[in-house]
């Protein structure tokens, strides 16, 4: 299990952040093209596409918190597909947070 300090350090890891940024951009693109996006979904997607680093930081922190029982080695070994799945799964929470819910 990663310690809180290790999780905090991982949240600033440049490679993990770049990967999370790509996952956020793909999630935003998928959300917009799904046809069922709400106004809040579209606002989040716009923010994610215009400022992907800021949204990636939020997403990465959320993913790390959800995986707090994993070791740093497990977190660092995450595949792109697994990271994408995890980011896709938390988009509703990010949308709600942006909407102030």
- The DSSP line for 33-83 is HTS---HHHHHHHHHHHHSHHHHHHHHHHHHHHHTTTS-HHHHHT--HHHH
Is the predicted pLDDT of residue 40 greater than 80, yes or no?
A: yes
Q: Is the pLDDT of residue 99 over 90?
A: no
Give pLDDT, residue 13.
Answer: 97
> Residue 65: is its pLDDT beyond 90?
yes
Q: Residue ranges of the domains in the chain? A: 4-99
**pLDDT tens-digit map of 80-92:** 999 999 999 999 9
pTM of this structure: 0.94
101: pLDDT strictly greater than 70: no
Average pLDDT value for residue range 13-40: 95
């Amino acid at each position: 299990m990663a310690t809180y300090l290790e999780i905090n350090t991982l949240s600033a890891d440049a490679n993990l952040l770049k990967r999370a940024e790509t996952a956020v951009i793909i999630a935003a693109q998928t959300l917009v093209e799904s046809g069922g996006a709400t106004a809040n979904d579209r606002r989040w997607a716009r923010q994610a596409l215009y400022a992907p680093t800021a949204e990636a930081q939020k997403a990465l922190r959320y993913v790390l918190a959800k995986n707090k029982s994993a070791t740093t080695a497990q977190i660092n070994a995450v595949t792109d597909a697994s990271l994408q799945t995890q980011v896709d799964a938390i988009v509703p929470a990010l949308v709600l947070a942006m909407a102030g819910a």
